[in-house]
Structure 1
Amino acid sequence: MEGEIANLGQFIGAGLAAIGSGVAAMGVGNVAANFLAGALRNPSAAASQTATLFIGLAFAEALGIFSFLVALLLMFAV
C-alpha cells in the first residue's frame, strides 16, 4: 500500500512538472507575438532585434525542457 502511494505521488508530481512545458509554449508564443507586433509597427528596426528574439525564444524553451526533465526524474527516480 505504501509503495502505491509513493508511485501516485511520483506521477502527480510529474504531471504538475509537465505543466511547465505548456507554460513554456505559451511563453514562446508570447515572445514571437510581441516581436511580430513590434516589427509591424517599425519594420526598419526589426532586423536589429532578431538576435533578441532568438535569445528570448531560447530562454523560454529552456524552461520547458527543464520542466520536462524534472517530470522525467520524478517519474523514473527510484
Structure 2
Amino acid sequence: RAAAERLASELGEAVGETVGYRIRLDSKVGPRTRIEVVTEGILTRRLQDDPALDGVGLLIFDEFHVLSLAPK
C-alpha cells in the first residue's frame, strides 16, 4: 500500500486513480487504474487463474531480493 501511495503522490493523485493496490482483504483500484501494486500472494493467485496475465503489459518485481517465507 505504501508504494501505491508514494506513486500516486508523485502523480498528484489519490490512490485508486492511475495507481491502485490489491492486498489481502483490501484493495483500492478504479476504472482508470493503470498501475496496480500487489502482494506476492495476490500475484500468485492471479497467475494460477490466468497464466498468460491477459491485459497486463508489464510486471515490475520490487524487493525481489528478499527471501520469501511462504510455504512451497
Which structure shows the higher strand fraction?
2
Which structure shows the higher helix fraction?
1
Larger relative contact order, structure 1 or 2 (CA cutoff 8 Å, min sep 6): 1
Normalising by structure 1, report the TM-score: 0.26
Normalising by structure 2, report the TM-score: 0.28
